[in-house]
Amino acid sequence: MIKILWADDEIDLLKSHIIYLEEKGCVFTPAKSGDEALDLLESNSFDLIFLDENMPGISGLETLSIIKERYSNIPVIMITKSEEESIMEEAIGSKIADYLIKPLNPSQILLAIKKNIQTNRLVEERTTRNYQQEFRNISMSLANSLDLEEWYEMFKKLTYWELEIERSGDNSIQEILNMQKSEANTQFFRFVKDNYQEWMRGENAPLMSHSIIKDRVLPLLSEDKPTYFILIDNLRYDQWKIIEPSFFKAFNFIQEELYVSILPTATQYSRNSIFAGLLPSEIQKRFPDLWKNDEDKGGKNMYEDQFLADNLQRLGKGSFKQSYTKITNLDYGRKVLNTISNMQGNALNVIVYNFVDMLSHSRTDMKVIKELADDDSAYRSLTASWFSHSPLKDIISQIAKQDANLIITTDHGTINVARPSKVIGDKNVNTNLRYKQGKNLNYNKQDVFEMINPLDYYLPMQNVSSKYIFAKEDMYFVYQNNYNQFVKFYKNTYQHGGISMEEMLIPIIILESK
């Protein structure tokens, strides 16, 4: 039963409407004035309030103001004979749920009730029904051998349903989708394993990290119009879809697509490749003094500006004015905000925003992050909150005021890990939980994609017997020492470096200011 308080001094004239709506499951409590309505609210609970704008005593708008102050959780539908714009604006400004103009008809009232009371249920039922219809299609597709374009569409489709089901609040069907995503990642791992070396040889290669500048940035470069290339570290496709609405008002969307991060899906490799326009072993060969291996001390992304300048020089754009800015903390982000207007004289402005360091991957705050975001829904919510309060949003607003191109992308994604895989190695093996490189590695071959000869995959070698292994799906590597302790510590944390749709299939969006 839906309990409704209807405040109207002409309530007796609405009996036929009330009878019709009671047959639809509504229970009405009448009030002939604002004062009577407020008295009833003190001793009764209601799901919805119909409030006439013109009543004796205190007016409907005055009553509305008091209701919103005392009972802000109850939706109010304002009813009036007047179509004066000022009355409508005042009511809307008071955050009414809906606005109806007399004379009323029962269907109109019923629609307003369903819209404000039953929306969540109706959305949940419709979403569940639609996904159930789509479930079979997705399962049939996964049973086939998909090409890369089909994998892009599969990942987009699964992400779409994940967001739709999250909005509907149907937890039972969320579990079914999670199982389907898991199956998709199992198939995707096999797909990457079968095709990755061919991509590295340039055969049927998709858009990948090392081709982003040449294939997506270079065509936009002009000395007459600035291009801003913003790389948000560790931004997954679903996280992009959460912040995407913030761009609708100020930008025209030219292109939105997915591209493939190279392996390892880790900042040191993928981001250096983006700016250098080269694969890791090629960077090491061209810049032997700048490339840092996993075991080397110091930052692994210290020379991106030099890699970028060299890349543009090779592409014939070395004379174009450019800037490179890396934002690693909140205070510096605020300082950069004040310099955006000075950047419009450059052909290319690169801004790297270390989202990963400030939100999702700080070892010091691992426990805090794990408690705030122990699943993908919470992780997306945290992303939305971060973005809405970050200097990055303000930076993008400043760019929107210029006649400019804007490219939003990332270097890799991340995955919530759930299943441990034991690995044994010496002290020189790197610490990443999703990939390992070194010699004398011992592991379960069923859990990994192994690269016995890294040079075949354009990856640097520490020594002649080094190899790389990459965790599949949602697995994470744990050493045998203190095994149970670390299994528990890292379970349900966000890691990257391995092979999953979430890590490898990542967004790149091209926009222009309106």
pLDDT, one tens digit per residue, over 146-168 is 999 999 999 999 999 999 888 87
Higher pLDDT, 220 or 371: 220
Would you identify the CATH topology of the domain 2-117?
Rossmann fold (3.40.50)
Nearest Cα neighbor of 192 from 476, 472, 477 is: 472
- What is the pLDDT confidence band of residue 324, given thresholds at 50, 70 and 90? very high
Q: How many CA atoms lie within 13 A of 418 on its CB side?
A: 9
Say if residues 265 and 496 touch (Cβ distance below 8 Å). Answer: yes
pTM of the prediction? 0.81
Residue 93: predicted pLDDT: 60
Q: What is the mean pLDDT of residues 486-504?
A: 93
Query: 209-415+503-513 belongs to which CATH class?
Result: alpha beta
The contacts of residue 22 (CB under 8 Å, 6+ apart) are 28
Q: Amino acid identity of 41? A: L
Task: For the chain, give every domain's residue range.
Answer: 2-117, 121-200, 209-415+503-513, 416-498
- Residue 405's H or E segment, with its range, is strand 405-409
Matching residue, tokens 């890294």: 454
pLDDT, one tens digit per residue, over 423-474 is 998 888 888 999 999 888 999 999 999 999 999 999 998 788 889 999 999 9
pLDDT tops 80 at residue 128: no
The three-state secondary structure class of 461 is coil
Computed over its alpha carbons, how large is the radius of gyration of the chain?
29
pLDDT tops 90 at residue 506: yes
pLDDT tops 80 at residue 357: no
pLDDT, one tens digit per residue, over 253-289 is 999 999 999 999 998 999 999 999 999 999 999 999 9
Integer Cα distance of 152 and 256 in angstroms: 12
Q: What is the mean pLDDT of residues 198-219?
A: 96
Q: Structure tokens of 409? A: 């992308």
Residue 122: predicted pLDDT: 60
Residue 361: predicted pLDDT: 47
Integer Cα distance of 232 and 241 in angstroms: 14
Higher pLDDT, 312 or 25: 312
Largest Cα–Cα distance in the chain? 92
Q: What is the mean pLDDT of residues 396-408?
A: 97
- Residue 26's H or E segment, with its range, is strand 26-31
Say if residues 82 and 54 touch (Cβ distance below 8 Å). Answer: yes
Which contacts (CB < 8 Å, 24+ apart) does range 203-206 have?
206/148, 206/259, 206/260
Torsion, Cα of 94, 98, 104, 110 (10° steps): -140
Residue 87: predicted pLDDT: 55
Say if residues 281 and 460 touch (Cβ distance below 8 Å). Answer: yes
